[in-house]
Amino acid sequence: IAGITQAPTSQILAAGRRMTLRCTQDMRHNAMYWYRQDLGLGLRLIHYSNTAGTTGKGEVPDGYSVSRANTDDFPLTLASAVPSQTSVYFCASSGTSGPTDTQYFGPGTRLTVL
Amino acid sequence: GQNIDQPTEMTATEGAIVQINCTYQTSGFNGLFWYQQHAGEAPTFLSYNVLDGLEEKGRFSSFLSRSKGYRYLLLEELQMKDSASYLCAVMDSNYQLIWGAGTKLIIKP
A2 DSSP β-pair partners: none
What pLDDT, in 10s, does the model give residues A52-69? 999 999 999 999 999 999
pLDDT given for residue A99 in this prediction: 67
Question: Nearest residue on chain B to A47, judged by CA atoms?
Answer: B96
Q: Cβ contacts of residue B70 below 8 Å, gap of 6+?
A: B63, B64
Residues of chain B found within 8 Å of residue A43, distances taken between Cβ atoms? 43, 87, 89, 97, 99
Which amino acid, residue B108?
K
Of the residues A27, A32, A45, A103, the best mutation for testing chain B's interface (the one with the most B CB atoms within 10 Å of its CB) is A103
Q: Cβ contacts of residue A91 below 8 Å, gap of 6+?
A: A4, A6, A21, A23, A25, A32, A33, A34, A35, A74, A76, A105, A106
For residue A84, the SS3 value is helix
Averaged pLDDT, groups of 10, chain A, 114 residues long = 89 97 95 95 95 95 97 97 98 83 94 98
pLDDT by residue, tens only, chain B of 109 residues: 788 999 999 999 999 999 999 999 888 899 999 999 999 999 999 999 988 999 998 999 999 988 877 799 999 999 999 999 999 999 998 888 999 999 999 999 9
Contact yes or no for A57/A109 (Cβ under 8 A): no
